[in-house]
Amino acid sequence: MTVLQKSGLEENIRDILEILGEDPNREGLIDTPKRVAKMYKEVFEGIGVEPATALTTTFDSEGYDGMIVVKDIDYYTFCEHHLIPFFGKAHIGYIPNERIVGLSKFARLVELTSKRPQVQERMTEQIARSIHEVLQPTGVMVSVEGQHLCMCARGVKKPGTSTVTTVKKGSFLNDESLIREFERSIASK
């Protein structure tokens, strides 16, 4: 984000405060436009970055063909419909074909998909597709749990509700035993 763009964002935040009836010159709000612009730069840093770039370094699986599960990856993102947060956990399971990736790369992949205005369904698909395309595993399954403030704090106001989205590719599409193994893995503590 260029200085001019950041400045324009700060001015727009200031305008929003005025439209809402606030005085952007009062002590508590003087630096708010600057802080909000800085926060937006951070939380939307994934815009324009292809999520699959998180998986660029792969390794030989050395014959390992069992399921690999990385679970409870925290994420925070913004609903693209209301620009308010939703957050939760992502769970990733895959069966390598010939290539594996460092486990921390899955956290980075989730991070890249969440650092943009998002919907949970697309985020789940982007994670699964990136893994499927880069690693070409036998199968991949991704489950994302989310709590959406647009549902909990406004509108229908149903706090405590959560949404679960799941994408299956390859061998996970038709193999119920793999699906159950993945589900048991993410349910265990």
Catalytic residues: 79-82, 120, 148, 150
Q: Coil, strand, or helix at residue 25?
A: coil
- Of 92, 126, 113, 107, the C-alpha closest to 43 is 113
Distance of alpha carbon 54 from alpha carbon 45, whole angstroms: 14
Per the DSSP assignment, residues forming a β-bridge with 165 are 144
The token pair at 59 is 């390794």
